[in-house]
Amino acid sequence: MSTGCGSRSSNCRRCVSNPSGPWSRSASGAAFTAGRRYRLALWRNWNSGEGRILFVGLNPSSADESRDDPTLRRCIGFARRWGYGGLLMANLFALRATRPQQLRAARDPVGDGTDRWLAWLAADAAMIVACWGNHGSMLDRDRTFSAR
């Protein structure tokens, strides 16, 4: 999906990201819909001289602009060990839930704007990691994202 520095055809492992989004202006942040029912994006930056890695999970849980949850802490650990200067986090489903069953029961688990944010974040990432596990096939979201 990623082209340029993070793509398979590139010779480099990481590069400086294009500072095109709000994630380039703050060390920590998140984008939510009104009411905070859906989290569209989350970011953490620690070294602006290095590229950012995008992790695409299944759905957001409790992490927000200032609080990390266990999944986010693991992703930050990977990003730091792999030499990236920041992390972008998005999900196939933007509905904040703690269990996949909650996604299945929801009328709109994807959320308005989710695909736009995924595309915007992916365009700025030096590398993209799909980490949505076994439930990404729900509503063919894994294929929708991978086809972009």
Number of independent structural domains in the chain: 1
What global pTM score does this model have? 0.84
Q: Is residue 92 part of a domain?
A: yes
Euclidean distance between CA atoms 60 and 37, whole angstroms: 10
- Residue 104: give the domain boundaries: 4-12+27-146
Q: How many helices (H) and strands (E) would you count in the chain? A: 4, 5
The CATH number linked to 71 is 3.40.50
pLDDT tens-digit profile, the chain (148 residues): 333 333 333 333 333 344 467 766 678 999 999 999 999 999 999 998 789 999 999 999 999 999 999 999 999 999 999 999 999 999 999 999 988 899 999 999 999 999 999 999 999 999 999 999 999 999 999 998 887 6
